[in-house]
Amino acid sequence: MRALLIACVALLLLPSSAPAQDASSGAVTGSVASQNHILLEGADVTLEGFGSAQTDSQGRFTFARVSPGNYRLSVAKSGFTPATRAVSVRAGYTAQIDVVLGGFAQAPRSPGDSVSVPLLRGGNAFLVRAQINGRIDAIFLLDTGASVTTISMRVARELGINTGFGSPTTEISTASGIVRVPVATVDSIQVGGAEARDVRVVVLDLPKGPQLTGLLGNTFLSRFRVQLDAANAVLTLTSP
């Protein structure tokens, strides 16, 4: 098992703007997701005074060569609550606008169904939103090379997991060497509605502390076909 004790991760959201290629105009790019963090294909996106577009299969949209100025971005999709955002476009820069529409998208229900979910950037790593046992909101450090999922001591207490004397334990390898940690099974972990049940976890606090729920490893990820689009910070999970 690769080392699970990860160096401290700074919780950094994507920057609101980045340099664009055209110095005389700007660009607007972003994503559209549902309330349960599923990226939405086919959402109608309008940059008022400029033009319209639809989101692609990963819920993304782009407007290029936009004249500098202040705009209103409108997003709509059937079955979801529409949203608007104010956008300021600067010459030579790309504005990043990520929109969450009210409403829940359908989760995978049969083999071959997929969901794409947006990732957060944490330094050189990716973070993913999840839900544990249908009631605890979580932010996991995504690690496709880790054999086991970890949860923090705080989350273990919220789940009622016994980590004291007499509780089951296992040995894992960390950067500090071999350690013995509590081991348990959680009823459910969901990422964008993609659910794995009876997920084996170990209880281990990561160095970052309370911001992170733990590390999402292969006791969850191995239940799906996983595609990571690092350039666009998108994770796609497909039911086998």
pLDDT of residue 165: 86
Whole-prediction pTM value?
0.78
Q: How far is CA 208 from the centre of its chain?
A: 17
What dihedral angle (degrees, nearest 10) is formed by the CA atoms of 16, 20, 23, 26?
Answer: -60
What contacts 10, CB < 8 A, 6 or more positions away?
122, 123, 208
In the numeric block, which tokens belong to residue 142? Answer: 């995504």
What dihedral angle (degrees, nearest 10) is formed by the CA atoms of 215, 59, 50, 90?
Answer: 20
* 132 burial level (CB within 10 Å; 0-12, 13-18, 19+): buried
pLDDT, tens digit, 9 for 90 and up, residues 9-54 = 333 333 445 555 567 899 999 999 999 999 999 999 999 999 999 9
Contact (Cβ atoms closer than 8 angstroms) between residue 117 and residue 33: yes
> If you average pLDDT over every residue of the chain, what do you get?
88
pLDDT of residue 104: 92
DSSP state of 71: E
Going along the chain from its start, the domains and CATH numbers come out as 17-100 (2.60.40.10), 114-238 (2.40.70.10)
Average pLDDT over residues 202-219: 84
Residue with tokens 């796609």: 236
Residue count (the chain)? 240
pLDDT, tens digit, 9 for 90 and up, residues 127-185 = 999 999 988 999 999 999 999 999 999 999 999 998 888 889 998 877 777 889 999 99
Side chain identity at residue 52, one-letter code? S
DSSP state of 110: S
pLDDT, tens digit, 9 for 90 and up, residues 82-113 = 999 999 999 999 999 999 999 999 888 788 89
